[in-house]
Amino acid sequence: MIDFELEPQIVKLLSVYHATAENLMRPISRRYDEHEHEEPWEFWNAIWSASRNRSAQGVEPPPASARNLFTCLTTEELCWGDAGLFLSIPNPGLGGAAVAAAGTPEQRARFLSRFRDGKPKWAAMAITEPGCGSDSAAISTTARREGDHWVINGTKIFCTAGLMSAEKSEGFVVVWASVDRNAGRAGIKPFVVEHNTPGMTVVRVENKLGIRASDTAMLSFEDCRVPLDHLLGSPEVTPEGGFKDVMATFDATRPIVAAMAIGVGRAALDFVREFFQRNNVPVRYGISTRRQTAIERDFIEMETQLKAARLLTWRAAWMLDAGLRNSLEASMAKAKAGRVVTLITQKAVELLGPLGYSRKELVEKWMRDAKINDIFEGTQQINLLIIARRILGYSSKELN
């Protein structure tokens, strides 16, 4: 028997996260959309304090066997509140995911333990470059060994939480650089660069279409020196090494991005449903589509697609928790959710007409916030390419 019901313990915890989204995030959502580079310290301190209080009060955490699934569930709830504010919350973020995927047990303990000492911190991942977007294997940033240090040179763009991680907290940035350009993908290695390391500079912070409460930075590395043990994993260049750590990181983070998309899509869907109810617009289920209105068909299709994306996301997260390879499922969840949230939010604006287009409500903001989920952590096109390769059994050389 297939059971999609969540454990009561998890349902109870999710109600706490939903209250946070509703009471702490929604009221300030518009403000930090309009003031993109203003740092919401009042919100950060409140949510950080709430997290510490849950630990102090002995609130039972979810079982370890559902850690990634629970992360996706809480991500959906918080992004129902505000996706930009969610991305801005002090946490290990993408940098932490890279440490978890590529680091040794000692490195994971050393770099990730700092996020448990009660102080707000951030960690970012720097992989995209001005001349290297979806093709991560084309990274031109280099790292060369000099004595007991690695020296990093290059430029990275579109680093989520790059400013906070590099300059504003005791965090770090995981930089992907090539230690051997002749080795291609195998020569790519991740390096932990501590905050305020000489040679790492925040060049600019981007002005964006959506998720405006989260900073997105361009970082420059000029003879940036880091200790040898800041290279995550083994420095040895092997055919199966290097790029597989990049993909392992994405296998862990793509379900989370999918959950972000589902949260934004659910926000738009809930608003439309409540609007229909207030205005006595019926949505009739269980009857032939020929008897339904165009509005009813559109709304039911929105619900259906959101549920399909959610189930794909849960499966990808569950497989990660079970120790199973989820590259195909992670890309399927990310591709589906990114496309679905774009369609749902656009349709929400369309169904609501002038109200949807107006800044009086958050619907137009959700449409802007939605699009990034179809772009970062691998574009829609790249994820569809990965899916095709996995299903057909082709390599990147055979199908590109």
Residue 352 amino acid letter: L
Yes or no: say if 186 and 396 are a contact pair by the CB < 8 Å rule: no
Q: Mean pLDDT throughout 240-256?
A: 83
Question: What region, left, alpha or beta, does residue 288 occupy, with left being phi > 0 and alpha being psi -120 to 50 degrees?
Answer: beta
% of the chain at pLDDT higher than 90: 78
Residue 165, judged by CB atoms within 10 A of its CB (0-12, 13-18, 19+), counts as buried
- Decide which of 80 and 115 is more confident: 80
| 3-class DSSP state of 387 | helix
Confidence (pLDDT) at 241: 63
Q: Which residues of 327-336 are buried (b: 16+ CB within 10 A; e: fewer)?
A: bbbbbbbbbb
Paired with 31 in beta bridges are none
CA–CA distance, 320 with 326 (Å, rounded to integer): 6
Structure-model confidence comparison of residues 330 and 65, the more confident one = 330
Residue 181: its pLDDT value, please?
Answer: 87
pLDDT digits (tens, 9 = 90+) for 154-189: 999 999 999 999 998 889 999 999 999 888 888 999
What is the band of 371 on the pLDDT scale with cuts at 50, 70, 90? Answer: very high
The end-to-end CA distance of the chain, in Å, is 39
Tell me the residue type at 147.
G
Q: How far is CA 394 from the centre of its chain?
A: 27
Average pLDDT in the 196-225 region?
Answer: 97
Dmax over Cα atoms in the chain, in whole Å? 76
Does 237 score more than 90 pLDDT?
no
Instruction: Tell me whether residue 106 is one of the annotated catalytic residues.
Output: no
Q: What is the pLDDT of residues 262-280, one digit of tens each?
A: 999 999 999 999 999 999 9
Backbone phi, psi, residue 118, to 5°: 90, 10
Does residue 149 have a pLDDT over 80?
A: yes
Distance CA 244, CA 231 (A): 15
| pLDDT score, position 59 | 59
Q: What pLDDT score was predicted for residue 249?
A: 87
Residue 388: its pLDDT value, please? 95
Q: Which pLDDT tens digit goes with each residue over 334-355?
A: 999 999 999 999 999 999 999 9
Q: Is 80 exceeded by the pLDDT of residue 223?
A: yes
Whether 62 shows a pLDDT value over 80: the answer reads: no
pLDDT at 54: 64
SS3 string of 123-186?
Answer: EEEECCECCECCCHHHCCCEEEEECCEEEEEEEEEEEECHHHHHHHCCCEEEEEEECCHHHHHH
Which is higher by pLDDT, 317 or 1?
317
HSE-CB at 87 with a 13 A cutoff on CA atoms is: 32
Q: DSSP class of residue 291?
A: G
Strands 172-178 and 200-205: unpaired
Quote the pLDDT of residue 240.
64
pLDDT at 210: 98
CB atoms within 10 A of CB 361: 17
Summarize the confidence of residues 101-122 as an average pLDDT: 89
Range 283-287, long-range pairs (CB < 8 A, 24+ positions): none
Domains of the chain, each with CATH number or no CATH = 8-91 (no CATH), 116-230 (2.40.110.10), 243-392 (1.20.140.10)
Write down the pLDDT at residue 184: 83
Which of these ranges, 1-5, 40-44, 148-152, has the smallest mean pLDDT?
Answer: 1-5
Of how many residues is the chain composed?
400
Q: What is the mean pLDDT of residues 190-206?
A: 97
Copy the structure tokens of residue 330: 């992670």
The 3-state DSSP composition of the chain as helix, strand, coil percent (nearest 5) reads 60, 15, 30
Annotated catalytic residue: which of 76, 77, 129, 377? 377
Q: Which pLDDT score is estimated for 128?
A: 94
> Band of the pLDDT at 120, cuts 50, 70, 90?
confident
CA distances from 175 to 11, 130, 221, 236, 240 (A): 37, 15, 10, 17, 20
Q: How far apart are CA 107 and CA 233, in angstroms?
A: 8
Q: Residue 210 has what DSSP assignment?
A: S
Q: Which of 25-34, 112-121, 200-209 has the lowest mean pLDDT?
A: 112-121
What would the pLDDT profile of 8-22 be if each residue is shown by its tens digit? 888 888 999 999 999
Dihedral sign of CA atoms 328, 329, 333, 336 in order:
positive
Instruction: Tell whether the model's pLDDT for residue 1 goes beyond 70.
Output: no
Q: Tell me, what's the pLDDT at 7?
A: 83
* pLDDT at position 242: 65
Q: Say how far apart CA 326 and CA 308 lie, in whole Å.
A: 17
Q: Looking at 44-48, 199-203, 309-313, which range is the least confident one?
A: 44-48
SS3 385: helix
Are 230 and 192 spatial neighbours (Cβ–Cβ below 8 Å)?
A: yes
